[in-house]
């Protein structure tokens, strides 16, 4: 994790000619796209490689850690990592050599992913609390996983088939011991998020947020607006000592826990006052969301290294985002280009139709003068 004030002072945490053709051309792009990064870049963790930055490939998923970042390459499914430390080198079972991945998450010195095909959880990097050794219930031996989340020294997964939460690694604060309400005994989960020494989940069925583990600065006590009392959640993510969720129904971003430099205070553009969100991610001292109405990235909180200042390529100025991931002191996003205006596309199609007419008229090419257009150079004869 980058050497920021937050990480030094607070041990910051450290997962798309007819109308139909015009609609297809102008439609919203899918999740795949180039990865862009910003913020602390001491180990090049905010500088994605050509294999996912659009030069030689793109990505379908991203995960920002501390001194490293990872992505799943679109098309191949291979895990690509960059930055520093052992966590920046994914194993052959995930990097495309022997296998690929369908989901991943990154922490300080390690990462975990769900292998494509087997759905087994595989972890790599450094860890001395067993966090890189998933149990048989999700490693493919006795069970597999449908979702993964990694914290500081512990990790959790949702077991495929049962939807039960399974955790492993450091359990000094009870962060790796999910309660009966989500461990399959009395209930299960639809989403999971792991922080510094605590874990949160969205209970399947009820949609209520439940948290367990350390309660420093109250990250393990979700507010009534998402705990089922006055509201529930549709998405959740956990940072070092703060948590953010998207409230079901309203789409408002709700955060709680340590509010150092406003990291648990989402702005009006996504908190329901002036706008809402479709995706969220929390980092060491900041949080980010994708605004529902614009698909623009909005960030808040600690910004010493620029991690909370999204670039024009994803802030709605020159482009939008389809995915967001906040690391300790840097942020990643998958770029979703701004669609070409329908009027422009109509113009292109109209010009193309005229050129086609000119080429085909009178059984040959007639006086088109070698006109150059978006469709290429048209010879005449």
Bin 170: left if φ > 0, else alpha if -120 < ψ < 50, else beta.
Answer: beta
What is the distance of C-alpha 92 from the center of its chain? 23
**C-alpha–C-alpha distance, residues 107 and 151, integer Å:** 6
DSSP state of 205: T
Helix (H) / strand (E) containing 326 = strand 319-326
Tokens read off for 17 = 């000619």
In three-state form (DSSP H/G/I as H, E/B as E, the rest C), the secondary structure along 61-72 is: EEEECCCEEEEE
DSSP letter, residue 260: G
C-alpha to C-alpha distances, 152 to 187, 228, 334, nearest whole angstrom: 25, 27, 24
- pLDDT confidence of residue 85: 95
Burial class (CB within 10 angstroms; exposed 0-12, middle 13-18, buried 19+) of 378: middle
Structure tokens at 194: 């792991």
Residue that the structure tokens 């077991």 belong to: 159
| pLDDT of amino acid 97 | 98
Q: According to the model, what pLDDT value does residue 363 have? A: 39
Q: Which of 85, 130, 125, 135 is nearest to 104 (CA)?
A: 125
Note the pTM of the prediction, 2 decimals. 0.83
Q: Which two tokens stand for residue 65?
A: 């850690």
Q: Residue 17 has what pLDDT? A: 26
Q: What is the pLDDT of residue 375?
A: 26
Query: Which residue has tokens 């329908």?
Result: 342
C-alpha 146/C-alpha 158 separation (Å) is 6
Residue range(s) occupied by CATH 2.130.10.30 in the chain: 5-339
Rounded Cα–Cα distance for residues 381 and 379 (Å): 7
Radius of gyration of the chain (CA): 23
Its CATH architecture, for the domain 5-339, is 7 Propeller (2.130)
pLDDT tens digits in sequence order for the chain, 381 residues long: 333 333 323 333 333 222 222 222 222 334 799 999 999 999 999 999 999 999 999 999 999 999 999 999 999 999 999 999 999 999 999 999 999 999 999 999 999 999 999 999 999 999 999 999 999 999 999 999 999 999 999 999 999 999 999 999 999 999 999 999 999 999 999 999 999 999 999 999 999 999 999 876 678 899 999 999 999 999 999 998 999 999 999 999 999 999 999 999 999 999 999 999 999 999 999 999 999 999 999 999 999 999 999 999 999 999 999 999 999 999 999 999 656 665 554 444 444 443 333 333 333 433 333 332 232 332 332
């Amino acid at each position: 994790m980058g050497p920021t004030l937050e990480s030094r002072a607070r041990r910051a945490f450290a997962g798309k000619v007819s109308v139909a053709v015009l609609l297809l051309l102008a439609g919203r792009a899918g999740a795949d796209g180039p990865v862009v990064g910003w913020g602390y870049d001491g180990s090049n963790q905010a500088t994605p490689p050509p294999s996912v930055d659009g030069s030689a490939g793109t990505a379908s998923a991203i995960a920002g850690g501390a001194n490293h970042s990872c992505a799943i390459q679109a098309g191949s499914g291979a895990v690509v990592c960059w930055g520093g430390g052992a966590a920046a080198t994914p194993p052959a079972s995930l990097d495309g050599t022997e296998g690929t991945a369908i989901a991943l998450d990154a922490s300080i010195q390690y990462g975990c992913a769900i292998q494509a095909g087997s759905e087994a959880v595989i972890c790599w990097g450094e860890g001395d609390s067993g966090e890189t050794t998933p149990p048989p219930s999700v490693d493919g031996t006795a069970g597999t996983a449908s979702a993964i989340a990694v914290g500081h020294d512990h990790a959790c997964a949702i077991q495929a088939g049962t939807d039960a939460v399974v955790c492993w690694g450091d359990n000094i604060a009870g962060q790796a011991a999910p309660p009966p309400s989500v461990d399959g005994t009395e209930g299960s989960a639809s989403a999971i998020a792991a922080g510094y020494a605590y874990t949160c989940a969205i209970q399947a069925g009820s949609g209520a947020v439940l948290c367990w583990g350390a309660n420093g600065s109250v990250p393990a006590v979700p507010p009534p607006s998402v705990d089922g009392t006055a509201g529930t959640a549709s998405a959740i993510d956990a940072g070092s000592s703060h948590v953010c969720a998207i409230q079901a129904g309203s789409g408002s971003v709700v955060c709680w826990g340590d509010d150092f430099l406003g990291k648990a205070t989402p702005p009006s553009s996504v908190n329901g006052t002036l706008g809402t969100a479709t995706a969220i991610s929390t980092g060491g001292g900041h949080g980010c969301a994708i605004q529902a109405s614009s698909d623009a990235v909005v960030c808040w909180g600690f910004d010493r290294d620029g991690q909370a200042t999204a670039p024009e390529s994803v802030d709605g100025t020159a482009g939008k985002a389809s995915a967001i991931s906040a690391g300790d002191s840097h942020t990643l996003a998958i770029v979703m280009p701004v669609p070409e205006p329908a009027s422009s596309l109509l113009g292109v199609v109209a010009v193309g139709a005229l050129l086609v007419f000119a080429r085909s008229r009178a059984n040959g090419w007639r006086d088109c003068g070698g006109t150059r257009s978006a469709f290429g150079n048209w010879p005449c004869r």
